[in-house]
């Protein structure tokens, strides 16, 4: 497998041409299912297996598991800001630095799976209250220097979960 395939096992995110309620429901379903999928994929892994990388120079499986709730906590907050504020400027974070903190490098993944489970339950409950026009609300990502719609971000985070789940499952099933 080449490095690009290892980095992006399901390909890179592409926003579909049609964004409708069917697409919203599918992405919310993806977000809702992710914690259980990660739990199932990792439930029998040893510390040695968790400490292997999914690609040369990449994070360990443990870091990937801890990264997902770190990222999705930020996503949840950004969604709430975009709904409650007028085109807010969000605060970026250094995900690569977060992944290098000691608890992310060596901590128990059960804590992050439990966090992800509760977070996704709350996020999905929130997402299900939104109307289709709410997904046109925007926030500004200063690191990317652009406005992003919640429609795009919903798809991106649904993809993000599948992306990292594939890192886990592809490495485990080698």
Dihedral sign of CA atoms 100, 61, 121, 26 in order? positive
pLDDT at 164: 98
Q: What is the pLDDT of residues 7-16, one digit of tens each?
A: 999 999 999 9
User: What is the biggest distance separating any 2 CA atoms in the chain, rounded to whole angstroms?
Assistant: 47
pLDDT at 173: 86
List the beta strands (DSSP E) in 22-93: none
List the beta strands (DSSP E) in the chain: 138-141, 146-149
- In the chain, what percentage of residues exceed pLDDT 70? 99
pLDDT at 157: 98
Give residues with Cβ within 8 angstroms of 79, minimum separation 6: 123, 126, 127, 150, 153
pLDDT for residue 174 is more than 90: no
For residues 44 and 129, the answer to whether their CB atoms sit within 8 Å is no
Count CB-CB contacts under 10 A for residue 14.
8
Please, what is the average pLDDT of the chain?
96
pLDDT at 79: 98
pLDDT at 93: 94
Q: What is the pLDDT of residues 43-101, one digit of tens each?
A: 999 999 999 999 999 999 999 999 999 999 999 999 999 999 999 999 999 999 999 99
User: For residue 1, what pLDDT band results from cuts at 50, 70 and 90?
Assistant: low
- Would you call 150 helix, strand, or coil by DSSP? helix
pLDDT at 7: 93
């Amino acid at each position: 497998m080449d490095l690009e395939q290892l980095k992006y096992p399901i390909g890179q995110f592409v926003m579909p041409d049609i964004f409708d309620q069917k697409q919203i429901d599918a992405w919310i379903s993806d977000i809702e299912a992710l914690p259980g999928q990660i739990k199932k994929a990792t439930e029998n892994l040893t510390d040695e297996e968790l400490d292997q990388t999914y690609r040369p120079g990449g994070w360990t499986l443990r870091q990937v598991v801890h990264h997902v709730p770190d990222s999705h906590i930020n996503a949840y907050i950004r969604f709430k800001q975009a709904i409650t504020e007028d085109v807010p400027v969000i605060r970026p974070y250094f995900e690569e630095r977060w992944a290098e903190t000691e608890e992310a490098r060596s901590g128990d993944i059960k804590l992050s799976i439990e966090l992800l489970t509760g977070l996704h339950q709350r996020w999905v409950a929130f997402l299900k209250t939104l109307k289709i026009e709410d997904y046109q609300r925007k926030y500004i990502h200063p690191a990317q220097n652009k406005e992003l719609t919640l429609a795009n971000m919903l798809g991106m985070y649904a993809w993000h979960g599948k992306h990292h789940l594939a890192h886990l499952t592809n490495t485990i099933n080698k």
